[in-house]
Amino acid sequence: MKIIPAIDIINGQCVRLTEGDYDTKKIYAENPLEIAQLFEKKGAKYLHLVDLDGAKKGEVVNWNILENITKNTNLQIDFSGGIKDKNAVQKAFDLGAKQVIVGSIALKNPSEVKKWLQEFGNEKIVLSADVKHEKIAINGWQTISDTSIYDFIADFLKEGLKHVVCTDIEKDGKLAGVSLGLYQKIIQQFSSIQLIASGGVHQIEELSLLKNNQLAGVIIGKALYEEKISWEELASFL
């Protein structure tokens, strides 16, 4: 199971939100590169990099941060936030991202994302299925749609979808535990996908639980920044 620390960007700073609410922004560092380099020094191999400015605006804002981190670390980066067209996908890869995560555009223009799955391959295009009450959220989680996560995933599965990141918004940033029941339902229904958990992780025991339930990876944010989980504890999972 992959351990994937997260860096979320607003105004060039490393921040965390609660339930995706921009008004809850808490700044943890002024320099995201320094945080990425610290993660790598501690043993991380992967990084979840989110352009929250881009997610809100509907187009990528912080290209320079992606480029800076890819040039100055060996982390395998998945990048998201404001990806709206093929040019943006290609630019992310050109700047060194290993994967691009798409959410809003996948709901608004699914046919376009299906083309990307075919063109770039299902190892590079990851579906972001972020939910509230099992309904897909878009636009930096500012909008909750009427589409269920199960219909959302099923639609792309026919096009070869392999990787899905799922965040339960009500858990995000609260350090209140992961949505294991939701993940179990998704895996039971879609056994072929590689599911990555996100949101709510707050103690090391949860990682064993996720691993034992066939999760392919877990994104960890606030639990690292607030030292609820130490890198020493994470060592056996890295």
Distance from the Cα of residue 3 to its chain's centroid: 12
Stretch (H or E) spanning 165: strand 163-167
**pLDDT computed for residue 196 by the predictor:** 98
What's the pTM? 0.94
Confidence of residue 173 (pLDDT cuts 50, 70, 90): low
d(CA 190, CA 162): 10
**pLDDT computed for residue 17 by the predictor:** 84
Stretch (H or E) spanning 218: strand 217-220
Q: Which residues span the domain enclosing 168?
A: 2-237
Identify the bridge partners of residue 144 per DSSP, sorted by sequence position.
Answer: 137
Looking up residue 68, the CATH number of its domain turns out to be 3.20.20.70
DSSP summary character for residue 11: T
Q: What is the mean pLDDT of the chain?
A: 93
Rounded to the nearest 5°, which phi and psi values hold at 65?
A: -70, -40
**Domains of the chain: total:** 1
| Active-site annotation, residues | 8, 130
pLDDT in tens, 16-73: 887 777 888 899 999 999 999 999 999 999 999 999 999 889 899 999 999 999 999 9
Average pLDDT over residues 175-180: 80
